[in-house]
């Protein structure tokens, strides 16, 4: 069957020509790259405090990433809903929806922050069990401070989503760049200058997130832009809009949340292997994030593109863009993986990692470089387009099922029964990627996701 019908596309008036796509995607790629680069620099700075510090940050970041994924899901819902309203030309309804997103995100993020702050060290013990006392002490401090930043992180994610939905990805990128500079400068001051260790790293993160939120919401008040959000204190719940947003955000949130819970389960297994293995896993995770930047960035941009196409009732055009951008993402992922492999040894040396941990990290990155370019885009890039078209429940069910079956169950089985070590964890992850890619590619090719699109349009 044809993946899309060329005759039904008005090629002279397509919504996103190559130049428009380029300027939509480039700022997102730059932002995602800088975020990952600064995350790497952050980890390298903390690593100078000692293995206990980097292990503590790695443990807490497992929880932080869970929270981030929940906020990312809400931001995705905001991008998709607002993109569809923009595509249909309904600016007033778009602004109303944006106000409801702000209200919903505020309530949810404040609730999560309060839960984490009150839970504190007890929550860490519950999640990770027995770890070294020095690691738990550092983890408790880092966790308490970063939890305070959750509402700011959530609101910035939503605000940035509003700009991306309208096709303006440059502005949130500029804000993010400055924020990353503040974070690194804060690390240098608080870790090296004041010798505050992990507390200094957490405070720098908090200040950078406060900056992002203040700037982006100040600018959202300006009237001469596609999406305007102002009079924040006058926003009142509109349940019909909130339910429409949650219809997309909740399945994505469950998917992302379960994904991170799975990572926490794996992290708990890794924590039993000792500090060396935990350090290697922490650095490998950073490298995996870096070589996925390009693919993730294209996926984020794809939500805006497909969302506007669906809002404008241009479904064949939406399919065309999914195929085109997935091809671009695949090439970018291959190049990214090769570049990351080339810098792995120098980075682990600069980070001062123990030789055994550095060698374990290199072996994992090498294995990843073989598998990821073949299947990752189909596993994680393609679902961005399907979700933007309204096919969120299928993505949730498939992703959660495969994650627990492959990434968690298989990974833990290989580690605890066959004693594969860290490589067993990553074999489980590779199996997860492969199965996802097969199922989502089949879903797109057979066209079943279009039934969902017709119902949601």
Q: Does 286 or 41 have the greater pLDDT score?
A: 286
User: What pLDDT does residue 454 have?
Assistant: 44
pLDDT (tens digit per residue) in 41-60: 776 787 777 777 877 887 88
Tally of CA atoms within 13 A in the half-sphere of 448 that contains its CB: 10
Whole-model pTM? 0.79
pLDDT for residue 456 is more than 50:
no
How far is residue 122's CA from residue 275's CA, in Å, rounded to a whole number?
21
How far is residue 226's CA from residue 345's CA, in Å, rounded to a whole number?
46
pLDDT for residue 302 is more than 60:
yes
Cα–Cα nearest to 69, from 283, 255, 288: 255
Q: Does 48 or 243 have the greater pLDDT score?
A: 243
Cβ neighbours of 455 (radius 10 Å):
9
pLDDT for residue 303 is more than 50:
yes
pLDDT for residue 161 is more than 80:
yes
Tally of CA atoms within 13 A in the half-sphere of 391 that contains its CB: 23
The residues spanned by each domain of the chain are: 16-456
User: For the residues 151-165, what does the mean pLDDT come to?
Assistant: 92
* Mean of pLDDT over the chain: 87
User: What pLDDT does residue 451 have?
Assistant: 58
How far is residue 73's CA from residue 384's CA, in Å, rounded to a whole number?
11
pLDDT (tens digit per residue) in 307-347: 899 888 888 899 999 999 999 999 999 999 999 999 999 98
How far is residue 396's CA from residue 407's CA, in Å, rounded to a whole number?
15
Cα–Cα nearest to 159, from 210, 91, 220: 220
How far is residue 414's CA from residue 416's CA, in Å, rounded to a whole number?
6
pLDDT (tens digit per residue) in 13-31: 888 999 999 999 999 898 8
Cα–Cα nearest to 238, from 102, 125, 126, 423: 102
User: What pLDDT does residue 290 have?
Assistant: 87
Please provide the DSSP assignment of 358-396 as one string. Answer: HHHHHHHHHHHHHHHHHHHIIIIIHHHHHHHTT-HHHHH
**Which of the residue ranges 33-37, 199-203, 242-246, 285-289 has the most confident prediction, judged by mean pLDDT?**
199-203
pLDDT (tens digit per residue) in 89-132: 888 888 888 999 999 899 999 999 999 999 988 888 887 777 78
How far is residue 392's CA from residue 414's CA, in Å, rounded to a whole number?
31
């Amino acid at each position: 069957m044809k993946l899309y019908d060329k005759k039904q596309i008005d090629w002279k008036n397509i919504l996103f020509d190559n130049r428009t796509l380029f300027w939509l995607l480039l700022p997102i790629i730059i932002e995602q790259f800088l975020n990952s680069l600064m995350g790497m620099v952050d980890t390298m700075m903390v690593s100078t405090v000692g293995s206990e510090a980097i292990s503590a940050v790695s443990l807490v970041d497992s929880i932080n990433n869970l929270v981030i994924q929940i906020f990312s899901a809400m931001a995705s819902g905001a991008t998709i809903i607002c993109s569809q309203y923009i595509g249909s030309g309904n600016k007033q309804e778009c602004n109303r929806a944006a106000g409801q997103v702000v209200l919903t995100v505020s309530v949810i993020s404040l609730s999560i922050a309060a839960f984490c702050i009150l839970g504190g060290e007890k929550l860490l013990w519950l999640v990770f069990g027995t770890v070294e006392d020095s690691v738990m002490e550092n983890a408790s401090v880092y966790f308490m401070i970063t939890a305070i930043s959750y509402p700011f992180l959530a609101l910035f994610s939503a605000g940035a989503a509003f700009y991306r939905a309208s096709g303006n990805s440059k502005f949130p990128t500029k804000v993010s760049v400055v924020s990353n500079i503040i974070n690194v400068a804060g690390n240098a001051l608080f870790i090296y200058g004041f010798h505050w260790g992990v507390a200094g790293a957490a405070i720098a993160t908090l200040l950078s997130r406060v900056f992002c939120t203040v700037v982006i919401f100040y600018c959202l008040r300006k009237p001469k832009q596609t999406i305007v959000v102002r009079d924040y204190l006058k926003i009142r719940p509109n349940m019909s809009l909130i339910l429409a947003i949650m219809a997309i955000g909740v399945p994505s949130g469950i998917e992302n949340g379960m994904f991170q819970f799975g990572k926490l389960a794996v992290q708990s297994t890794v924590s039993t292997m000792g500090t060396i293995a935990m350090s290697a896993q922490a650095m490998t995770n950073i490298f995996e994030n870096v070589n996925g930047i390009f693919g993730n960035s294209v996926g984020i941009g794809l939500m805006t593109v497909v969302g506007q196409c669906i809002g404008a009732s241009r479904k064949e055009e939406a399919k065309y863009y999914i195929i085109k951008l997935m091809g671009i993402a695949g090439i970018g992922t291959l190049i990214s993986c090769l570049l990351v492999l080339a810098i792995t040894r120098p980075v682990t040396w600069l980070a001062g990692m123990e030789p055994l941990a550095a060698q374990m990290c290199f072996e994992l990155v090498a294995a990843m470089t073989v598998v990821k370019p073949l299947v990752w885009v189909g596993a994680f890039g393609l679902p961005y387009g399907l979700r933007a078209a309204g096919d969120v429940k299928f993505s949730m069910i498939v992703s959660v099922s495969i994650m627990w079956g492959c990434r968690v169950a298989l990974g833990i089985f290989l580690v605890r029964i066959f004693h594969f070590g860290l490589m067993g964890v990553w074999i489980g992850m590779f199996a997860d990627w492969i199965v996802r890619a097969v199922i989502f590619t089949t879903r797109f090719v057979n066209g079943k996701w279009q039934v969902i699109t017709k119902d949601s349009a």
